[in-house]
Amino acid sequence: MKRTLIVSTIVAALGGLLFGFDTAVISGTTHMLRSVFDLTSFELGFTVASALIGTIIGAIFVGKQADRFGRRYVLFILAVLYFVSALGSASTNDWYIFLIFRFIGGLGVGGASVVSPMYIAEISPAKFRGRLVAVAQLNIVFGMLLAYFSNYIIAGLELGAVEWRWMFGVEAVPAVLFFVFLFANPRSPRWLVSKEKINEAKHVLLKCGSDSGNIEEEIEDIQRSLDFSHHSAKEPFFTKKYRLPIMLAFTIALFNQLSGVNAVLYYAPHIFSMAGFEKSSSLLNSMVVGGVFFIFTIAAMAVIDKIGRKKIMIVGSVGYIVSLGIIAWAFFAYGTEFTDAGSYIVLGGLFLFAASHAFGQGSVIWVYISEIFPNRVRAKGQSFGATTHWVAAALISWTFPLIAEISGGYTFAFYGVCMVAQLIWVLTIMRETKGISLEEIQKQMGIE
């Protein structure tokens, strides 16, 4: 594996780190935001979802810009959005202004969920693509862990009324580093070919590696897959020939959120509080959950290009079903009167849930969506899959505080039933993409 490929992957994956940090950092501030801005449960849900509304908008519109200006250029813009959001969220005293800055951060997250994995997929040879795109997912998880750890450390400093401001503000540091490091990254060779910058594309493939080892042959394969003599870059996306990858992207993205993962990520301390833990224990437990995510993401990276995407999804789906069943049972059994035993059953269930997500859906989703669309519509396809993901995430995150007040048991039981449906989908419909070039996947999807 070539040095340029490794460095470029790590830098592009910093977009994922900021994605993860921005996603998880609010979990340690929800109780303070509720007090500072005097929020109802509905308003708190909307405050959390405000960033997710931004992710939807970002995911919808970033694909077109990535096609027009290039993947790397858009990553620069995302770094700026993260920086502005971090400082703005930390400094405002007005709830509406706070929502605007969280929305801006959401634009960055939505954009990164499209562009970071797509960029990495397009610079990676097929035999390394799964684990390299999974680096973006690893950095998402590392960003979450960093946010949980940062929240825990800041809470321990006892900063009082400004504690939540520091929790948001520290994100500005990795945002600046991301912007600076991007200058060393090459542009995507597949985007360069689409813009007829053939010599630069050859140079990038030479530095990053190719599938066949023959640069000229690979350039010709990319040109054939684009086939702009018969297809326009502006052709409609929602057409019959793209039906299969559209369906696959939609279902994997929808199931990702129907697991309830964003409810766990955004409301982890709240869930632990529901299960009888004190505030300090809730923050520490959230950090440990982040650590479980991180460890099992690494485990998935080690095998994703060996055993394939489907087998990983099967293992993760079974883990989801068991863990969500345990958590639902605990809430049904203990209600609002948790004993120590009941609290630790929920804790164990959430650890298993985190491991199942990290090893399964969490490691596969962005790899899979970045692979299944043809070169000429990959940005649109990645944008569609990410938009589906974030619409579902917004709905789950907005509704969780409301439905959890009614019954934690029914909430987690619903997520468990959805994961039974996911397991059936994986076994009967999902296609394997392990070790196949992007251009060959296009042929296997039956797309000319």
Query: 37: buried, middle or exposed (CB in 10 Å: 19+, 13-18, 0-12)?
Result: middle
Q: What does the alpha-carbon distance between residue 161 and residue 150 come to, in Å, rounded to a whole number?
A: 17
Q: Tokens representing 8?
A: 């470029």
Q: What does the alpha-carbon distance between residue 370 and residue 393 come to, in Å, rounded to a whole number?
A: 19
Q: What is the pLDDT of residue 230?
A: 46
Type and span of the H or E element at 138: helix 126-156
Q: Give the number of other CB atoms < 10 A from CB of residue 326.
A: 18
What is the end-to-end Cα distance of the chain in Å, rounded?
A: 31
Q: What is the pLDDT of residue 375?
A: 81
Type and span of the H or E element at 309: helix 309-334
Question: Is 1.20.1250.20 the CATH number for 3-444?
Answer: yes
Q: How far does Cα 129 stand from its chain's mean position?
A: 17
Q: Tokens representing 438?
A: 């992007």
Look at residues 118, 17, 14 and name the one whose alpha carbon lies nearest to residue 65: 118
Contact partners, residue 238, CB within 8 Å, separation at least 6? 246
Q: What is the pLDDT of residue 96?
A: 94
Predicted confidence pLDDT, tens digits, the chain (448 residues): 788 999 999 999 998 899 888 877 887 788 889 889 998 878 887 887 788 788 889 988 998 899 899 999 999 999 999 999 999 999 999 999 999 999 999 999 889 888 998 999 889 888 888 888 888 878 888 888 888 888 888 988 888 889 999 999 999 999 999 999 999 999 999 899 989 899 999 999 998 988 777 888 888 888 887 765 445 556 788 888 899 999 999 999 999 999 998 887 767 677 777 777 776 566 677 778 778 888 998 999 889 989 999 999 999 999 999 999 999 999 898 877 778 888 889 889 999 999 999 999 988 998 899 899 988 888 899 899 989 998 898 888 778 877 777 777 888 999 999 999 999 999 999 999 998 888 888 888 888 6
Q: What does the alpha-carbon distance between residue 211 and residue 207 come to, in Å, rounded to a whole number?
A: 13
